[in-house]
Homo-oligomer: A and B are copies of this chain.
Amino acid sequence: MAQIIESIPNISEGRRQDVIGACADAVRGVPGCTVLDVQSDASHNRSVITYIGDAKAVEDATIALAAKAAELIDLNHHTGEHPRVGATDVIPFVPIRDCSMEDCVELSKRVGRRMADELHIPVFLYEESASRPERRNLADVRKGGFEGMAEKVMKDEWEPDFGGRTVHRTAGVSVVGARKPLVAFNWDLDTDDVRIAKNIAHVIREKDGGLKDVKALGLLIEDKETGRKFAQVSCNMCDCNVTPLYRVTEMIKSEAARYGVRVTNTELVGLTPAKFLINAAEYYLQLKDFDDSQVLESHLL
């Protein structure tokens, strides 16, 4: 049973395939590290590289990735809608197997220290690794973006955790930390009235008094093939052990029903641990006394 840590860095390049490929290859070049997925978004000008390995392999791969991104990406010439502060913008570490959250926190601190020392990129620790409460939330750390960072780090409360107050001229700063597995999940509605999706998002998200560990937005989506527009509830499920997929699904269906609206389909974005889907099967099939060890593959890992 080998230790498995997942890392999902976001780099600030979603258009130049040679740059994205070189960054992914930097990860692939580290023995014991496996790249699972590379997803690029041209309009956000941003890519997500997913890889797994043990703590040492993931540490080395992350440094190699950050070095390559710093070499090839200049944020002074970056355009894109998504907020960002660094060439390697955010680096989450997620415990998957034979690994505690504390192991991932320690890993994030080693990576932060090395990025500062070896690459001269200041690092903020966030989420479970945060050194102060106001740094837990990524959006708060990233507020002001690359353009506002030189000024922000001069504030008393925003000195980076590693690397001092000199923002890297082209690569900015990075936000590094440990977090639970995040599941990105969307619910499409049979309406083009985005207000309905926004109302549902408002009801279900934790911030406004809804379900714990759920972040939600109401969006209007245009199907690229058909041109058809439809409303979507787009969620980040930050802890499916606390708020499982089925509960959000049933609440969205129930809230949509008051408008005479139905869920037409859902979408899982990226990867999820099997247990979060099996948990939905357990609910809908009304399984009693189910045990994870009844899943054949649980004995193979």
Contacts and interface: CB of A to CB of B under 8 A. Distances in A.
Interface of A: 4, 6, 34, 36, 52, 96-97, 181, 188, 245-246, 249, 263-268, 270-274, 277-282, 284-290, 294-297, 299-301
B271 A288 contact: no
Contacts of A284: 246, 280-281, 284
B289 A267 contact: yes
Contact of A266 (B34, B245, B288, B294): B288
A211 to B, nearest CB: 16
B296 A267 contact: no
Contacts of A267: 287-289
A97 B300 CA distance: 10
B268 A287 contact: yes
Nearest to A187: B286
Nearest to A300: B301
Given A36-B296, A265-B287, A268-B290, 8 more contacts: A36-B299, A52-B300, A245-B285, A268-B294, A271-B295, A272-B294, A278-B281, A281-B284
A301 B301 contact: yes
Given A277-B278, A278-B277, A296 B6 contact: yes
A274 B294 CA distance: 9
A257 to B, nearest CB: 15
- Nearest 3 interchain pairs by C-beta: A284-B284, A280-B281, A265-B288
Contact of A277 (B265, B295, B300): B295
A237 B288 CA distance: 18
A263 B278 contact: no
A67 B290 CA distance: 34
Contacts of A278: 274, 277-278, 281
Nearest to A292: B274
A232 to B, nearest CB: 12
26 contacts: A4-B300, A36-B299, A52-B299, A52-B300, A96-B296, A97-B300, A181-B296, A249-B285, A263-B286, A265-B287, A266-B288, A267-B289, A271-B295, A274-B297, A277-B278, A277-B282, A277-B285, A277-B295, A278-B278, A278-B281, A279-B281, A280-B284, A281-B281, A284-B284, A297-B297, A300-B301
